[in-house]
Structure 1
Amino acid sequence: MRICLISEGAYPYVTGGVSSWVQSMILNMPEHEFIVYSISAKKIKNVTRKYEQPPNLLEIHDIFLGEYVEERIQAGRRYHITEEEKEAFLSLIGGKETRWDVLFEFFVSGRVDSILNFLASKDFFDIVRVLCEKRFVHVPFTDMFWALRSMVLPLFLCIDQKMPEADLYHGVSTGYAGVLGALAKHQYNKPFLLTEHGIYTREREEEIIKASWIKGYFKDIWIDYFYSLSQCAYTHADRVTSLFEGSRQIQIELGCPGEKTSVIANGIDVGKFHTGNRKQKESGIHIGAVVRVVPIKDIKSMIQSFSIVQQEMQDSYFYIIGPYDEDEEYYAECVEMAEILGLRNLVFTGSVNVQEYLSFLDILVLSSISEGQPLVILEGLAMEIPFVSTDVGSCAELLLGKYDSFGKAGTIVPVMHFHLMANDLIELAVNPELRSTYGRNGRERVTSLYTLPGMIRKYNELYEEVNPHGRHRISAERTL
């Protein structure tokens, strides 16, 4: 079967998380051929692929949306859109059920020579004017025009691309990736599966609420818009999976039909994690975080908690393990905060062999503002290392065992409560027996419930369920 995986802003240029999941799916399904369709905001100079391309990964289609804004614009054109098409555009922003089939047909018809030209056309001008007259009477037209243009530009650029043909499409989030999965289903009449690692809509809503560049009265418009994108994915998907039950319930609350939903948890290759390789350092307590240094991981709260721990325990050591080149400005702010706090024994390792650190760390910590089901927790527990984590995604389920009887494998604290995080780190640091108990519990939970073979088997069953006759269909059709 030829499967097109559609991801947003990750594989193969960013390590960890969704990227690791994509690579794992391809490597562990050698019987299938894969195409990866990767959407990114902009192309970063000198960026390299972080993963070696498996033999069954046929193509990687990169879409860098920022490249298209350099095109020359011809303003004031007419595209002779129909009333039905105009209503479809209005419904995308106007708070009604969106006619995605009409929008898809408009863009794949070949009538649009350039998305930037369309957004500078008299037709788009008319759409904005109608929205202002009917729904946004108190919003200045100029503000509305430029806000809507920036809002729909990435979406229209995505829809304007030709999707590669495959037997099955598997979106790795809602948002733009989810809409492209729906577009592919519309174009080729092939099955579309959706997997959410985190609830995309909720994550975007949090970002919009905090964003200073979005004026107050536009925040609701942006939030409704992203809900509309998610609804497109939920409506067109044949099946929708999540990583844990709490996430599945949120999907249903957001409008996904419950009968489409199921849970497929992440899994790791437990055989790669040998607890016999663990070697305790001669002295001190060693605390680590396997993480990308980016704002959503809230490295600053972690650093503040480390500072409190070090005041209580002079022989404590901290390792922030992972790349720090994704957001260099944020990394610099984190380094500066550590210096201001006078924090000693803190190391930003950059990209390294994580296994080397898991062999001696006493405690692992996660301070994220948002997560799905972190692979780093599964891997840490597989090495019998206890965790202190913020209460995001399925972290409480993994560490506290809400739905099993294996016992606690760590502790949970509220987001951004660095002082509570520090208290729990100190409690574990001074209690080796508790660390050992939590570590054993975590290992048992992972080896029983979160294995890679189990995850791969469930996805294979799902692929066969939605497309039982799709194996190598494209190759056969081309041969004929």
Structure 2
Amino acid sequence: MRIGLLTEGGYPYVGGDAGLWCDRLVRGLGQHEFDVYALSRTEGQEDQGWVRLPPQVGRVRTAPLWTAHDDGVVYGRRARRRFTEAYGELLTAVCGGPAGAPDVPGSGADSAGAEADRFASALYELAELARDEGGLAGALRSESAMRVLEHACRTPGALRAARTARVPDLLTVAAHVERALRPLSLDWYEDDALGSADLCHAAAGGAAALPGLLARHFLGVPLLVTEYGVHLRAHYLAASAQDEAPAVRALLAAFHGRLATEVYRAATLITPGNSHARRWQERCGADRAKLRTVHPGLEDARFAEVGEGLRGSRSADPGALVWVGRVEPAKDLISLLHAFAEIRRAEPGTRLRIVGAPAEAPDAAAYLAHCRALAAQLFPDEAEGVHAVGDNPVSFEEIGGPEIPSLADAYACGALVVLSSVVEGFPVGLVEAMLCGRATVSTDVGAVVEVIGGTGLVVPPRNPRALAEACVALLRDPERRERLGAAARARALELFTVEQNITAFHGIYLEIVSHSPVRRPVVDEEGEPLPFGVPAEAHVPGRWTRTRFVTERRPRWAEGAPVRATEPAESRTTELAQSWTTELAQSQATEPAQSWTTEPLPGQESLPAADSLPGPDSPLAPMPAPESMAGPLSGPGFPPVPEFASGSAPETLFAPVPGPIAASSAGPEFPPVPESMAVFASGPDVLPAPEPALAPGSMAAPSAGSDSLPVPLPMPGATAGLPAAPVPLPAPVPASVAVSVGEGA
């Protein structure tokens, strides 16, 4: 699939935030194609250049956030009115304060939702205006924009701090909002840009996720947001360190809060890096069902030698504490130095090695100098003898020197790793120490407890005495240190490797694409759209994308000719008729003819006329009647007669008919029946045969029911002039007998 990777101040720039994990993600998912859309923060960052990109990166598009080029767009009257209304709605929602603010009258769930909807509608209206007119840079820096901001701050119901804003404060807020909304004027929201991506993956919130919001709004591209450090929390921390007016801090916090809420609402899935970031996102309005925690992954190979004891056992100082990281006020090295003073009183031979360079913050260098001065004051140089040179037990070092050539060597040089931060997101340095198999003592901040689990000691922040007691306990128990270090390495290998990080994002990509509709229409040969023409599996190489020719195989029980469970009535009737015709022909050839009787039947005054009787050569032969005309026939040559529904046969089964009656067949499938076999067939598919004229005093045989099968029965005895077995007869039977089978046969 094609993924649009959105970054701000990070990948692909050298040394950017989150650049390392983005590079590992792109290189680890070589089966996908990546398009990088990067926002640069400073001019110096652009001058540093890019990292070496892997071949799966198709294209890179950048845009600066540190400067705004004049787009030269001049709005007409209608466009200016449209901008004023949309920008006014946006700022009114911002000045309403964050959701549930205590100083906003009537704030609550309903009002917060209404303000969030107002902010989102105004934001997308500004984006559509920028798309229609060609940009927003000039309008956001215009005098009318300042008037709209001032009017929003003076509106009843605005934040208390916003109502006290002065003109310099309004200028500062307007400049910050204009910088944050610069992605609205980019030309990335076309079908050949972000519209060609299957999903957008924002590496952070805030401005980095804003292009993803617009791609989802304009083009329907699903958005995935990953935050290893919550953008809103980072803004709060940065604002607290700056000397800004209360009105500026309140308005900017409200703006970033509204933006974060909309990002979380519009995102398809959100992947926090730890439970600490997850709690922040839920507090800002993220739906819990959208959250998928994905821990950042580190390369464990670089720490394998130290973690497996190949180098660590030889170079580790059993009495040394190690601190590794960037020197800045949030790391609280002051508390660490005071804790080390108590450790030295309990264990005089202990050393503290602080490994790291100052951070990029302007006050980081001054903070490092202050820490050096405090260490020199607390621990004056000590010498073993009168002629020995004094040495300070606290050392400040950097990676790359002769004693610490690599990061793994920094963790290997001590027996215990210490973390004394007061503010921490995801403690990467702590995970590195765990991969090196080192026991740790940490402060309970950020995601420290989640990372450590039960493999280290955790103490409250800004508590030097508790930190010192935990360190002394582990320094005096080497076996406990070894057990905690081994457990820490096993935990880190299970949860915090690059492989598990890449596997998690690969599954999330497939989940998002499988639930997203196909946006690019796929048509058939006639130009008609094909629904589900591009399924999610088609984007991923695998067995399901290869053409396979499958031969049609039937199960073993289906082999051979099909067998009917019930034989059709027509076929049974045809077979019976053919067999009876064969038997009739054989009997005609072997048995002699029977003579006619000359006595009348009971109830007859005289015999029929001679011309009405069949002669010896007539096909209709006389037939001896059974002893009982009402009982069922039995004996050789007689088929079994089924029982009737009532349990008894009808009173008259055979009736004398003076002349031959033509048999009616059940359909064209029946073979011709001899005239001597006068059978009336019936049923829904058989036309009724014409009833013959009966002789006076004779009775017609009962007709078959509607559900009976038209089965011709053989005549008992001799047929067509052939004699049957001798049967005593009370009287001669004339002509033939018409037989009909009743219902139930």
TM-score class, shorter-chain normalisation, is 0.7 to 0.9
More helix per residue: 1 or 2?
A: 1
More strand per residue: 1 or 2?
A: 1
Q: 2:396 is matched with which residue? A: 347
- Overall identity of the aligned pairs, in %: 22
CA contact (8 A) 1:372 1:394 kept: yes
CA contact (8 A) 2:355 2:410 kept: no
Q: 2:558 is matched with which residue? A: none
Matched, 1:231 2:261: yes
How many angstroms does 1:49 deviate by? 5.7
Q: 1:80 is matched with which residue? A: 80
How many angstroms does 1:309 deviate by? 4.3
* 1:4-59 deviation per Cα after TM superposition (whole angstroms, max 9, x unaligned): 32233344557597333212212211112223434443233796468543333344
Q: 1:194 is matched with which residue? A: 225
| More displaced stretch, 75-84 vs 16-25 | 75-84
CA contact (8 A) 2:328 2:359 kept: no
Q: 2:476 is matched with which residue? A: 430
Where does structure 1 differ by over 6 angstroms across 4 or more consecutive aligned residues?
70-78, 470-473
Q: Specify the code of the residue in structure 2 equivalent to 1:280.
A: R
Q: 2:325 is matched with which residue? A: 291
Matched, 1:398 2:451: yes
Q: 1:337 is matched with which residue? A: 371
Q: 1:259 is matched with which residue? A: 289
Matches within 5 A, 1:110-149: 110-112=133-135, 115=137, 117-135=138-156, 138-149=163-174
How many angstroms does 1:320 deviate by? 1.7
CA contact (8 A) 2:318 2:414 kept: no
Residues in 2 aligned to 1:20 and 1:228: alpha-carbon distance in whole angstroms: 29
How many angstroms does 1:325 deviate by? 6.0
Q: 2:7 is matched with which residue? A: 7
Matched, 1:155 2:180: yes
Q: Specify the code of the residue in structure 2 equivalent to 1:335.
A: A
Identify which of structures 1 and 2 has the higher relative contact order when contacts are C-alpha pairs closer than 8 Å and 6+ apart: 1
| More displaced stretch, 179-188 vs 73-82 | 73-82
SS in structure 2 at match of 1:66: coil
TM-score by length of 2: 0.56
* 1:121-179 deviation per Cα after TM superposition (whole angstroms, max 9, x unaligned): 23303312321331458425514521321330221223323335233211122222222
Matched, 1:365 2:390: no
1:109 to 111, 127, 132: 132
Residues in 1 aligned to 2:236 and 2:198: alpha-carbon distance in whole angstroms: 33
Q: Specify the code of the residue in structure 2 equivalent to 1:6.
A: L
Q: 1:203 is matched with which residue? A: 234
State the aligned residue count.
461
TM-score by length of 1: 0.83
| More displaced stretch, 80-89 vs 41-50 | 41-50
CA contact (8 A) 1:12 1:50 kept: yes
Distance 1:350 1:388, change over 3 A: same
Distance 1:45 1:448, change over 3 A: closer
How many angstroms does 1:237 deviate by? 0.6
CA contact (8 A) 1:201 1:226 kept: yes
Distance 1:359 1:101, change over 3 A: same
SS in structure 1 at match of 2:23: helix
Please, which runs of 5 or more residues in structure 1 have no aligned partner? 402-407, 474-480
SS in structure 2 at match of 1:276: coil
Q: Specify the code of the residue in structure 1 equivalent to 2:151.
A: V
SS in structure 2 at match of 1:273: helix
2:442 to 371, 380, 389: 389
How many angstroms does 1:460 deviate by? 0.6
CA contact (8 A) 2:408 2:436 kept: no
| More displaced stretch, 428-437 vs 211-220 | 211-220
Distance 1:37 1:306, change over 3 A: farther
Residues in 2 aligned to 1:71 and 1:19: alpha-carbon distance in whole angstroms: 30
CA contact (8 A) 2:73 2:134 kept: no
Matched, 1:316 2:341: no
How many angstroms does 1:282 deviate by? 6.8
CA contact (8 A) 1:243 1:372 kept: no
CA contact (8 A) 1:199 1:251 kept: yes
RMSD: 3.4
Residues in 2 aligned to 1:339 and 1:460: alpha-carbon distance in whole angstroms: 50
* 1:254-285 deviation per Cα after TM superposition (whole angstroms, max 9, x unaligned): 21122211222233344543213223337553
Q: Specify the code of the residue in structure 2 equivalent to 1:104.
A: A
CA contact (8 A) 1:2 1:35 kept: yes
Distance 1:276 1:132, change over 3 A: closer
Matches within 5 A, 1:233-252: 233-252=263-282
Q: Specify the code of the residue in structure 1 equivalent to 2:483.
A: T
| More displaced stretch, 269-278 vs 251-260 | 269-278
Matched, 1:182 2:182: no
CA contact (8 A) 2:34 2:57 kept: yes
Q: 1:404 is matched with which residue? A: none
Residues in 2 aligned to 1:302 and 1:44: alpha-carbon distance in whole angstroms: 34
How many angstroms does 1:461 deviate by? 1.0
SS in structure 1 at match of 2:457: strand
Residues in 2 aligned to 1:306 and 1:207: alpha-carbon distance in whole angstroms: 29
| More displaced stretch, 103-112 vs 145-154 | 103-112
CA contact (8 A) 1:193 1:237 kept: yes
SS in structure 2 at match of 1:67: coil
Q: Specify the code of the residue in structure 2 equivalent to 1:467.
A: V
SS in structure 1 at match of 2:314: coil
2:298 to 263, 268, 271: 268
* 1:296-344 deviation per Cα after TM superposition (whole angstroms, max 9, x unaligned): 44455445545554565444141324x5362364134313421342163
Residues in 1 aligned to 2:277 and 2:503: alpha-carbon distance in whole angstroms: 21
Distance 1:233 1:21, change over 3 A: same
